[in-house]
Structure 1
Amino acid sequence: MSYSAVLRTSIGESAETKNRVTRDDELMEMLDDITGAVVDCMAKGGTVFFCGNGGSSTDAEHLSAELLGRFKYDRPSMSSYCLASNTAAMTAIGNDYSYDLTFARQLAGLGRKGDVLVGLSTSGNSGNVVQAVRQATEMEITTVAFTGADGGKLAGLADFTFRAPSYETARVQECHMAVGHTICEIVEATIHPRP
């Protein structure tokens, strides 16, 4: 049995979703603004926080790691933290307060004015990501939402919303990673230029 037809279709859809981003001037302008906000935060010694659920939580961890570790070459570490990474905090806050506060409560203790929060939610409606964006806004932390085409609640709350041009979760998440990697590449090259 051959699976090449399904493979070709899915990979082609993923590529086309990303190509739609590059052809959309509004999306490209939004990404430029988001990249500028992250670069500005890093240049001033701030921290970029990431959060998300499920696959988006591992995407958040992945992007945070690119800043903390390295992306293309050796350079100093940059301050970044994934709010979905601390299992004890997540479960304690979820148990003692509510799951919707799992990111907001951590951000209240760790975040500072001038930081950036990047919330990943394919629907744009994840309760704990929405609450984290609200908490960040109160703290004068710049808020970025990575969502699907609809944008959900986050589109009306975040300072910047990148809406991946798809309603299919897999395509949205793949697009988020392509965009996230590119932002990390630019941040690395801007803050710590290759010698």
Structure 2
Amino acid sequence: MSTDFSSLFKAHLGEHQDAIAKLSAMHDQIAPLADAWLTALKNGKKIIFFGNGGSAADAQHLAAELVVRYRINRPALAGIALTTDTSIITAHSNDFGFETLFARQIEALAQPGDIALGISTSGTSKNVLLGLQAANKRGCVTIAFTGEKGADCAAEARLAFKAPSGITARVQECHLLIGHLLCDVAEQSFAAP
């Protein structure tokens, strides 16, 4: 093996452990996200997820955790990912361009009080930014999941989780961990006594 696997293994683990360790000091940044999710879901609203690439996969993953289940059986919770309908994605991108893809779907699907959760590891994804702007206009509670710098998307959102890393893979790992935590909070709230 030409690659030094042991060094790569230690480097990846070290980066991951560093990012995860920093999360323990972020309680006050993360708790309002849980409150927002619970408020929306208890009021019969939905959580709309969107992002590109790995963030699109995270959007779909978290929507599935809400609709199906995270750990326990309970009533379905309203989550939707704007990254799953290939006909909408290709038609819109072909006719209007990719930058307004999420904004157009927000215009069609979002209602006041819904959560619009845009995921961008860089915090600068134009289509995520425009989706958040459209959601603000629709009266949604906007949340951005970004990397540590946050950038434009965090500034546009009412609430933001800035993962404590500048490394894309570590940011994604933090996003999924906090996403799972929020799904667990919601699930526990809706579980049968």
Q: How does 1:1-195 map to 2 (within 5 A)?
A: 1=1, 3-22=5-24, 24=25, 27-190=26-189, 192-195=190-193
* Unaligned runs of at least 5 residues, structure 1: none
Distance (whole Å) between structure 2 residues aligned to residue 76 and residue 167 of structure 1 = 37
TM-score of the aligned structures, taking structure 2 as reference length:
0.95
Which secondary structure state, in structure 2, belongs to the residue aligned with residue 99 of structure 1? coil
Identity of aligned residues (%): 36
Distance (whole Å) between structure 2 residues aligned to residue 86 and residue 11 of structure 1 = 35
Tell whether the 8 Å contact from 1:17 to 1:175 is kept in structure 2 after alignment: yes
Distance (whole Å) between structure 2 residues aligned to residue 119 and residue 155 of structure 1 = 9
Number of residue equivalences:
191
Deviation above 4 Å: which 4+ runs of structure 1? Answer: none
Tell whether the 8 Å contact from 2:82 to 2:102 is kept in structure 1 after alignment: yes
TM-score of the aligned structures, taking structure 1 as reference length:
0.94
Which secondary structure state, in structure 1, belongs to the residue aligned with residue 63 of structure 2? helix
Which secondary structure state, in structure 1, belongs to the residue aligned with residue 104 of structure 2? helix
Q: Could you list the per-position Cα deviations for residues 83-104 of structure 1 after superposition, in whole angstroms to 9, with x for gaps in the alignment?
A: 0111110111111112111111
Distance (whole Å) between structure 2 residues aligned to residue 194 and residue 18 of structure 1 = 31
Distance (whole Å) between structure 1 residues aligned to residue 122 and residue 105 of structure 2 = 22
Measure how far apart 1:12 and its partner are.
2.6
Distance (whole Å) between structure 1 residues aligned to residue 191 and residue 64 of structure 2 = 18
Distance (whole Å) between structure 2 residues aligned to residue 70 and residue 87 of structure 1 = 24
Distance (whole Å) between structure 2 residues aligned to residue 19 and residue 88 of structure 1 = 41
Q: Which amino acid aligns with 1:4?
A: S
Measure how far apart 1:4 and its partner are.
2.7
* Unaligned runs of at least 5 residues, structure 2: none
Distance (whole Å) between structure 2 residues aligned to residue 6 and residue 167 of structure 1 = 18
Distance (whole Å) between structure 1 residues aligned to residue 131 and residue 151 of structure 2 = 15
